[in-house]
Structure 1
Amino acid sequence: MPQTTTTSTPCEVSWFSALCDDDYEFLGVPEPRLRSSWQHCRDIVLGAETGGFDRILLPSGYTLGLDTMAFAGGVAPLLRNIRLLTAIRCAELWPPQQARQLATLDQMTEGRLDINIISSDLPGETLESAPRYRRSLEYMHILRALLNGQAVETKGEFYQLAIDPPRLQGHGGKAPLFYFGGLSDAARETAAAAADVYLMWPDTLDKVAEVVADMRARAARYGRSLRFGYRVHVIVRETETEARIAANRLVSKLEGATGDQIRNRSLDAQTAGVLRQGELRQSADLDGYVEDHLWTGIGRARSGCGAAIVGDPDQVLAKLQAYQEIGMEAFVLSGYPHQAECDLFARHVLPRLNHAPLSRHG
């Protein structure tokens, strides 16, 4: 098999621990051995560290699987190199409490903690998109100040606080990186004003380039700059034929009603980003491919990130390089089952990427 040259431009490469009951051999067919448990999710994290990944995303769900922060605190002492990308939901906790929790984890990991900030409704709540993102923006500003060791005095629409500089702050007195995604206008403005890394879900190359250009312009209006990340599944095998067979096998037992139920159980099932994933599926060819090596079949049973890069090692590497060329500096990858696909990517592709974690000082 021909070997594509190792990438020269560095990027961050992360894997995903399935804390939210989202691990399958066959999509839509639950298996007890793959249910979210301390042992199973811990083993995914340890496998990602052994495989050489820079970071592990710990997702968040209210009714699904494990509590993210409790899991992060449990797994942190087991790790030596890999960084945690720990998801939090704005307004789930009172901001000063959330800041103290994050500062504690950041101290435990000696600065190897960053956060994926999610703007979503809380259980039993329905808040329109615009005010929900205004609340998230206030929340992010408060968190950053407290994690930077600064006093907070604010009289906002959602939070009215007067707090002295906290004793406990981010490791080295610096807040973790804020990863943030969202496709609506309100989400983009929030990211432009307060995020460090704008995290995108799968899309066609031209659409990704269009969003990157838009976000750079928005951030510039705030006197800021953004880095860009790309969240996507991967299915890599020694040949393209084998990879396509694996993709088809993954959805071979999926019934339409089951897929609908899985997609609709999420609190954010009707956001602009989720709707865009549906548009990709509708515009794909008969085999589910919306462009070369970008397969939308996973979105039949997943709310949110709903496409996979499918191919042999050269093809997967080339696809990632194409995203790098239009601005992606970080990749958050996953696959089914998560442990097995993590190992395959670590063996076939990761050694050929010039990769390192993004720095909060860079």
Structure 2
Amino acid sequence: MSVPPLRIGVWAPVHGPRAALQDPAEPFNASWEHNRDTVLQAEALGYDATLVAQHTVNPHLPDHDQLEAWTASAALAALTSRIEIIAAIKPYLYHPVVLAKMALQIENISRGRFAFNLVNAWNRAEFEKAGIPFGEHDERYAYGREWITVVEKLIRGESVTHTGENFALTDYQLTPKDLHRARPRIYLGGESEPARALAADAADVFFINGQPLEDVTTFIADLRRRPRTLAPLSFGLAAFVIARDTEREAREEYQRLAALAARDAGVRAAQAARTDPNVVMVKTFAKSERVGTNGGTAAGLVGSYDQVAERIRAFHAAGIELFMLQFQPLTVELARFAREVFPRLGRAAPSRVDLRQSQAG
């Protein structure tokens, strides 16, 4: 099966640094200005997408700043011209009608560059402290299945009449509909059986947390075996990158970040106490030491520029279309990767003008 062209994206810094919270090279900054500048820098450098994770409260440091994903995505849609903007969404937080209307609005602001990433949620405290129901793992996926069924029809511009366990709509239609394509793209992440089943039925792109190539290959094979009525499913991978001139230099930087991350042990313990123990990705993360979130360096993108490029090509050959990358310190490494690794992947390196524009952003 042919693989779509390689795309490279970056996680927006919605809740601060991804690897270590006490890094002198990257002070905590989850502000709108920092997120705006990061995405504008990424676009100027030639990155293809950005993922804006959704949390109402900072999942690591509850007393620290947290960017609001959907209002920020609307603003980014107006400020950018090429990059795909992917906003995460937790179904319990928005009624399908409200979310579908917001998605269509951002889609039209961006002129067809918007997508959303359906996530099951794991942070119990984010919901329970607000008095929002937080069902058990499989209950959340059943809710999400009905939710996305309604949303998908609404964002297609259909008139929707629906009676289900959670929602009831009568002849509900949203205008203007998508002015640029049939509907925005739908991403979905998760590792459990309900997540995989829902991805096969409703998603356009399945996001996989950072893992070794053999595990990712198994994931892709499993999803490709499943019956599907939509176009063939595409795949994305989260990964933290440390790329340097030599493997030794990359390993030294890994050790620096790992030592800093060790200082966050108390934060991680508190976060674990707020996490639904039935979330499969937590069990996956426990299998390996790593730097970064969502699997981080478990994907193995730590090494020389040539090594990192070779590993990305191997993942791409296995079926990964979109690499959603993390870096620290973010702005410096974002530019380094574009300058050094893009050409090794057959992509144009940023010009001096692009580099200056990214730094100005």
Normalization by structure 2: what TM-score? 0.84
Q: Aligned partners of 2:153 and 2:273: how far apart in 1?
A: 34
Please say if 1:205 is aligned against 2:213.
yes
Task: List aligned pairs for 1:181-196, cutoff 5 A.
Answer: 181-196=189-204
Which range moves more in the overlay, 196-205 or 170-179? 170-179
Question: Which letter does structure 1 place at the counterpart of 2:38?
Answer: I
Contact 2:45–2:338 (CA under 8 A) maintained in structure 1: yes
Q: Secondary structure at the match of 1:85?
A: strand
Contact 2:22–2:263 (CA under 8 A) maintained in structure 1: no
Q: CA RMSD in A?
A: 2.3
Q: Secondary structure at the match of 2:221?
A: helix
Per-residue Cα deviation, 1:195-248 (whole angstroms, up to 9, x for no partner):
110110111222111111111112x25576311111111111111111111111
Q: 2:187 aligns with which of 158, 179, 200?
A: 179
**Aligned equivalent of 2:251:** 244
Per-residue Cα deviation, 1:287-341 (whole angstroms, up to 9, x for no partner):
xxxxxxxxx4215xx4x33325101111001101111121111111111122122
Q: Aligned partners of 2:347 and 2:102: how far apart in 1?
A: 29
Please say if 1:28 is aligned against 2:21.
yes
Please say if 1:260 is aligned against 2:279.
no
- Unpaired runs of at least 5, structure 2: 59-65, 349-361
Contact 2:96–2:151 (CA under 8 A) maintained in structure 1: yes
Contact 1:9–1:354 (CA under 8 A) maintained in structure 2: no
Which range moves more in the overlay, 240-249 or 172-181? 172-181
Q: 1:10 to 1:355 in 2, by over 3 A?
A: farther
Instruction: Using the TM superposition, give the Cα deviation of residue 67 of structure 1 relative to its aligned residue in structure 2, in angstroms.
Output: 0.4
Q: 1:173 to 1:329 in 2, by over 3 A?
A: closer
Q: 1:145 to 1:267 in 2, by over 3 A?
A: farther
Q: 1:171 to 1:190 in 2, by over 3 A?
A: same
Contact 1:13–1:332 (CA under 8 A) maintained in structure 2: yes
Question: Which letter does structure 2 place at the counterpart of 1:17?
Answer: A
Q: Aligned partners of 1:73 and 1:134: how far apart in 2?
A: 29
Q: Secondary structure at the match of 2:259?
A: coil
Per-residue Cα deviation, 1:116-166 (whole angstroms, up to 9, x for no partner):
111226611431121211111111121111111111111122212123332
Task: List aligned pairs for 1:345-360, cutoff 5 A.
Answer: 345-354=337-346
Q: Aligned partners of 1:341 and 1:266: how far apart in 2?
A: 31
Q: Secondary structure at the match of 2:173?
A: coil
Q: 1:98 to 1:223 in 2, by over 3 A?
A: closer
Q: 1:52 to 1:260 in 2, by over 3 A?
A: same
Q: Aligned partners of 2:309 and 2:10: how far apart in 1?
A: 16
- Unpaired runs of at least 5, structure 1: 1-7, 282-295, 357-362
Q: 1:62 to 1:305 in 2, by over 3 A?
A: farther
Contact 2:296–2:326 (CA under 8 A) maintained in structure 1: no
Percent identity between the two aligned chains: 28
Q: 1:172 to 1:191 in 2, by over 3 A?
A: same
Contact 2:78–2:110 (CA under 8 A) maintained in structure 1: yes
Please say if 1:13 is aligned against 2:8.
yes
Give the paired residue count.
328
Q: 1:30 to 1:347 in 2, by over 3 A?
A: closer
Q: Aligned partners of 2:264 and 2:104: how far apart in 1?
A: 43
Q: 1:318 aligns with which of 310, 313, 318?
A: 310
**Aligned equivalent of 2:351:** none
Contact 1:12–1:330 (CA under 8 A) maintained in structure 2: yes
**Aligned equivalent of 1:297:** 290
